Structure 1
């Protein structure tokens, strides 16, 4: 059994990402019941996986992740995750020997940028980068599953405090709209055009 131990933060300001090209991530959620596991399907570049995540206990939770064929992930996202999709560009930044994941959300979540750090154990200390803002690890609204359920309406965009940071995509066919596909990912564009 794998354990995911991570902390999540908003950013005080966007760091220099020029050294990190970023990777497009599209993920959707199939099922979730109270106190049950979350089932997530993710496409990251040309790779796909299904992940089962247990309920959070402090900053940790059980996590099981398995690779699946890309075509299967596309079908699951398109048929079973409609409306429960998150699209983002992930940048990796090193700071004081630790790797930070900077997620710039797109589509209906445009304007949201978070930083996450995975830790070897819950007591592990780390040096905070100068661009780090307030911690939101325990704020369930910032969980990807909660974001996937958020409809993106103006009243639901509680995170929007400034113009959105540039993201590499807007989303794809999994929302049922081709117009928001980004030219940066021709594979997703082709999938959308074939839908």
Structure 2
């Protein structure tokens, strides 16, 4: 979460991506994130995360991924509130990575992903490639220290999912994407792309 004058709040917008964009390869050191949800209901969640440099082999169990992160891992714990208009309460604090890893090992509701960070135009973006039961989901996310308005949306973003609770990590922890991926793709093909229009003017990057 970015530091800002708004305290424990994050300002982000999220987009569904059909396939990994080529620009993700420009990140020379992607991050592996393995996170467990201890509680999730009605938009509120408690999350424990372990993260570090992504290992060469990402096709492994969450326990193996935690092991692969080793001593260089960072451990965090976060309390989250419901998202409203691209704004969400998130109080995140660093905790002992060994403790965080042991918690993740013992939790069934786990999300693992590889995060690529890229700079596009005026904003820093992260592209998350989900693993395990949430593969082959790809989500692009932009975060600022204030509401994300007047956004230049990269062409690889198929539709905005900022207000679609199905794409929140805590939902994916309990309802893995692979169980409803085809249904969602049919829905997207039928209804077409959607973008939030209450946060200024959206434009496709380069247009």
Alignment TM-score, normalising by the size of structure 2: 0.69
1:9 aligns with 2:9: no
The CA distance in 1 between the partners of 2:156 and 2:149, in whole Å, is 20
Q: Choose which of 78, 103, 117 in structure 2 pairs with 1:76.
A: 103
Supply the distance in 1 between the matched residues of 2:182 and 2:100 (Cα, whole angstroms).
Answer: 30
* Alpha-carbon contact 1:13-1:132 (below 8 Å) kept: no
SS at match of 1:138: coil
- Quick one: structure 1 residues 95 and 10, their matched pair in 2 at CA, closer, same or farther if it must change by over 3 Å? same
1:88 aligned to which of 113, 128, 140? 113
How many residue pairs align between the two structures? 157
Match of 1:18 in 2: 25
Gaps of 5+ in 2: 1-6, 53-72, 186-207
1:118 is aligned to 143
Q: Which runs of 5+ in 1 are unaligned?
A: 162-195
Is 1:31 the counterpart of 2:39 in the alignment?
Answer: yes
Does the 8 A contact of 1:112 with 1:160 survive in 2?
no
1:68/1:93 CA distance change after superposition, 3 Å: same
Distance 1:22 1:159, change over 3 A: farther
TM-score (norm 1): 0.73
Contact 1:94 1:100 in 2 (8 A): yes
Shift of 1:97: 2.2
Post-superposition CA distance 1:90-140 (Å, at most 9, x none): 001111121111000011111100100012332522212222210011111
Match of 1:168 in 2: none
Higher relative contact order (CA 8 A, sep 6+): 2
Q: Equivalent residue for 1:50? A: 77
Q: Which of 116, 122, 125 is equivalent to 1:97?
A: 122
Given that 2:20 and 2:129 are in contact with CA atoms closer than 8 Å, whether structure 1 keeps it comes out as no
Q: What is the CA RMSD across the aligned residues, in angstroms?
A: 2.0
